[in-house]
Every structure is written in C-alpha cells, then in structure tokens.
Amino acid sequence: MSLSLKLIDILQKSHALLTGGAGVGKSYLVGEVVTNLRKIGKQVVVLGSTGVSAVNVGGQTVHSFFAFGICNDLDELTRHDRYTKARLAEIKKVLSRCDLLVIDEISMVSADLLDMIYYRLRNAGFEGSVLFVGDFFQLPPVSKAKNDSLLGGLEYAFESSAWSAFKPVVVELTKTKRTHDECFFEHLSHIRKGHLKEETLVYLDALRNNVSVWDDDPTVLFGRNKEAEMLNIQKLAQIKSEPIVLKAKEKVHEKSLHVNKIEGWKNALPVPVDLTLKVGAKVLFCTNKWGKYYNGERGIVHAIDEKEVVVEKAGEFVKVERQEYTLHENVLLNGEVQEKPLVSLEQFPLKLAYAITIHKSQGMSIDSLVCNINTIFEKSQFYVAISRARYPNQLLLDYHYARFSEHVRRCVQVSPKVGEFYEKSEILKIEEQPSDSLFDAF
C-alpha cells in the first residue's frame, strides 16, 4: 500500500498530524493525498497558517477562510462574529460538505487560534477529518503576547483544549529525500531536536572550513531580507549584459477585493512581481516541474524574452514559461466545494540565486549553499537554513565572530514543551517513501 493510501486509511477513521523533519516529503505526500481524494469525488479544503504557507500548498490562509479578521482569541471572535453573519453562513455551507480539511504549518498555529478553528468547525457541524501538517520543532507559533510562555500561558496548538478534542493520530516521516548523506542527516536530526552533542558541534565547526564553496558562486542564505537584496543587486551589477525587467501579468477577478489583501498575497509569493534578469545571471527555480527542474535547483540564464526564459542547468537547456499563481477562496457551487479565483498573476518561477532569505527558502533543496549565520537569532532558523543543503561538502557555515559553539547553542534551543509533546505522543513512524522520488525524475 502506498504512503498516500495509508494516510487516507487513517483519515477515514480519525484526524491526523503528519510531521517530520525538513526534506522528508511532507508536502509531496499531502499533494498526493489531496489529488487522490479529489479524483474519487471527495471535497477537500487546503489551508496554510501563513500567507507563504498558503501559497506553497495552493490554498487559502486560515484567517481568510475562517473569517477571523484580527481576532486573537475566542472572546474577540464572538464579538467580531456579530458583523460577519453572511460570511459565516458561507463558511458553514463549505464545511458541511467538506470531507477533509488540511492545515499546513500547524506549528505556527497558536493554542488560541486552534481553539478558534475548532469553534468554527463545531458551529458548522463539520463531520469530516482534519489533517494537520508540520513540525513543532521548527517554526514556532505567532502569538499576540510575546511573553505568553513566560507567564505560563498556552503557546502551542497541542496545548489547546481543541487538540485534546481532535485527538489526532501522529504520523512521522523519518527518511530524508533531500540528502543521501546519512551522517549529515543524523546531525540534522540532533539539531532539529535541540540535542547538541559535542560531536555535532565539531561537525558543524568543520563546515566553516568549506571555503571552496565560494568558487561556485553559491546561494547565500540570510536571516534578513536587506542583506539578501543587497547581495543580489551587487552580483547582478557585475554582469555586463543588459538588464531585462519581466513584469508579472496580473488579473483581478474579484473587483471588490481590497488592495491590501492583494499586496499581502503578492509579498507571500515565491517569485518577485518585477523580475530583473540578465543573460549570464544565476537563478533558482522556485517550483517543482516533474522531469524538468525542482524547487531550489540552480541554473544560468541563456536567453530572455516575454514568453520564455531559457536556463542552462547541468549541461542542458530548459525553456521556462510563466507560471500562474492564484489567490482564491473556497465556495460551495452546485453542491461541491470549489476554488473561486480572486486574483491571478503570471510570472516566471525564477529568482536570482546569489542570495535568499531563510524564510523564502522554505521547501527548497539547494546544491551549493552558504549559510550566513551571523544574524540568526530566531528559534529554528539555523536548522531550517542548513537543512536546505543537499550535500554537506557543498555547504559552508559563514560566521564572523568568536564563540561559535555558544552562538549555535543559542540558535538551536528548542522549547521543552515540544520535546515533551513528541516524547508522550504515540507516533506511527514511517520510513518508506513514495517509489517515485522527485529527484529521481532528473
């Protein structure tokens, strides 16, 4: 039985959490589950906890779908609902027909937010299954009160009363698809959980010596957008060919859509609205296209026009066409849950490869990589950054200050709550992966 069928079988009986470290194939598996269910007429709604997450999974944000507005908890939500009765009626219609609700990046959903979601589902008479997707060891929740955890408040989704009501089966993918280096993956696993043994620190310190990576004009990961933009501008300016600006083709389908919502959606896209390229520039592919390229693969621009960009990669030339990105909302039409387009945008799935933020690198697998860890201070950023690498011999840790080990220890601190959650959960661990790996297609 394939992994997707195993997960579908679980979802027929209960709710589920699909978890695992970076690069184990969570998004790939969710895509297969959604496709297979829709093929047999099941109604599926896919949501992301943030704008970037929603774009990555091709869905709505949790806040948009559930009409939460700027509410932070149930008290605020009940007051807010007095003014959104028409929208709530539409949500109930969709949820009454929904067989599966997918919520991606569940780690960024706070306890209060999950209680609000459960409140909506219960009031709508939702009878389907919920598939939570994400890794609590990675991106932490966005909370209205930064000091919630210090004051003993509830922080993570699994601390909510709603989580106890859902009682999801925990399914963990344990085999990486991103790297074949078992030693590297083992150290990544320790870092993910905040277990920094001396041998892992020695291993990481050795990665600071991979200075030959600079010879390949690598992709540099930064914690902040300012540094990434600056390096891309500098590198592009060094190329003598003429710059060509490829503007995205935008179409607004819902005229009443607020401009702020459109701009927020554009900022979450993996591609720039105005893409400036030169022949000879190094680029990253920002999506997967079976048999042609994968998200994070590098190439060099060979030719540019309005209809296609020719990119040379691994000795072959690939014609890259514009890809359509769509912001939509889920509505009920003719008894079926359908995605109503609000605004769409066509742009080439490319961006300059010289630098990228850790935030925008989510889901990418990058060959030649430098991780600038000087300004990494947020939880999980260090792990997210180095886990983008496919090959440790093509990974350089760039750190300019003293006390490297102390800095790394600060970067990989994990909340004891998360460790305790995984230790106490009954986890169904799955090592087998789908037979058709994305990278096997290249």
- Which domains can be identified in the chain, with CATH numbers? 3-177+416-430 (3.40.50.300)
Q: Taking a C-beta distance cutoff of 8 angstroms, is the pair 136, 107 a contact? A: yes
Residue 378 has pLDDT above 80, yes or no: no
What is the average pLDDT across 95-114? 96
Span 176-193, mean pLDDT?
92
Average pLDDT for 307-325 = 95
Task: Specify the higher pLDDT residue, 147 or 213.
Answer: 213
Query: Does the structure show a pLDDT above 60 at 151?
Result: no
Q: For 224-246, what is the mean pLDDT? A: 96
| Beta carbons within 10 angstroms of residue 71's beta carbon | 20
pLDDT average, residue stretch 421-439: 71
Q: Does pLDDT of 173 surpass 50?
A: yes
Average the pLDDT over each of 70-74, 163-167, 311-315, 404-408 and give the range with the smallest value: 70-74
Complete DSSP assignment for 333-348? ETTEEEEEEEEEEEE-
Work out the average pLDDT over 200-222. 95
433: pLDDT strictly greater than 70: no
What mean pLDDT is predicted for residues 416-438? Answer: 77
Percent of residues, the chain, with pLDDT higher than 70: 94
Contact call for residues 334 and 316 (beta carbons, < 8 A): no
Helices (H), 69-197: 74-80, 85-97, 111-123, 161-166, 182-192
Does residue 148 surpass a pLDDT of 60?
no
How many Å apart are CA 173 and CA 429, to the nearest integer?
6
Q: What is the pLDDT of residue 83?
A: 66
Examine the pLDDT at 86 and tell me if it is beyond 70.
Answer: yes
CA 2/CA 434 separation, integer angstroms? 7
> pTM for this one?
0.89
For residue 29, pLDDT beyond 60: yes
Q: Is the pLDDT of residue 284 over 90?
A: yes
* pLDDT given at position 337: 92
Tokens at residue 5, please? 């069928």
pLDDT digit string, tens, across residues 341-374:
999 999 999 999 999 999 889 889 999 999 999 9
pLDDT of residue 139: 80
Determine the Cα–Cα distance for residues 414 and 73; give it in Å rounded to an integer: 25
pLDDT surpassing 90 at residue 442:
no
Q: How confident is the model at residue 159 (pLDDT cuts 50, 70, 90)?
A: very high
